[in-house]
Amino acid sequence: MQQQYILRIDCPDEKGLVHKITGVLYHNDLNVMRTDEFVDRESGYFFMRTEFAGDTDENKIVSGLIGILPSRANISLNKISKKNIIILATKEHHCLGDLLIRHHFNELNANILCVISNHEILHSLTSKFDIPFHYISHDNKSREEHETEVLKLIDTYQPDFLVLAKYMRVLTAQFSNHFPNRIINIHHSFLPAFIGASPYRQAYQRGVKIIGATAHIVNENLDEGPIIAQSVIPVDHTENATDMARLGRDVEKIVLAKALKLIFEDRVFVKDNKTVIFE
């Protein structure tokens, strides 16, 4: 079977880009299986994701593209393969458990290298799936000291992405900048509403009629990174904050799984603080 690739390009828009890009692939005897394009007319920016197959020299393809694209083009060429990820969690089991089950049944399109937690409560759950579990306590440590220990461990694994599966620690900018556009978080709210702690309590006190969840890329600003996926469900006056939290857990699992599928299939482009997603 021929090797399959995903080519991602974003650059200032100009006429003939699709023709030029597919021309490079054609002249290298490569077979295009799918291509998606989008032009943001407001910014004049072009985005393209192409799946192709064939035997090729990756450096030759990238060099050929550099020669025909605008000078500020971003080019990413990857073989289609599973991503290597580390999951960070705290005490809540629902998102971690869902990801462990999907991984066990080969539905995640990723290899879970390990789980890292600042509490031991999820160790027994993780061990049932033969995934390494690392407990790094935050007690009697500054945030920076704790993160230094976590980073040291992460560096031994060299993951492609970090997944925050209800990891209830606010990350410093230094930590998040260590993995630009490579940390995915699930937030138990329909952002930008109810940022920060106790969003279901905030939602209940506001008397909302829907609750939701948001999966986003982590940046240096709390809960303000580029949004990947969101969903909502209806609620009414009979549900209190505890009920809303229980209902919200199912939404969180679904939204996180959807976001990770998009990320692991290289379908998400980040431009400024927004995303362009080819589903």
State yes or no: is 160 an active-site residue: no
Asked if 47 and 276 touch (Cβ cutoff 8 Å), the reply is: yes
* Annotated catalytic residue within 139, 223, 250, 266: 223
Helix (H) or strand (E) holding 274: strand 274-277
Helix (H) or strand (E) holding 148: helix 143-157
Name the residue type at position 30.
L
Handedness of CA 173, 179, 182, 184 (dihedral sign): negative
Task: Answer whether the bond into residue 192 is a cis peptide, omega within 30°.
Answer: yes
Asked if 39 and 87 touch (Cβ cutoff 8 Å), the reply is: no
- The 8 Å CB, 24+ separation contacts for 222-225 are 222/170, 222/195, 222/196, 223/185, 223/187, 223/189, 223/191, 223/192, 223/195, 223/196, 224/191, 224/192, 224/195, 224/273, 225/185, 225/273
Which residues are marked as active site?
223
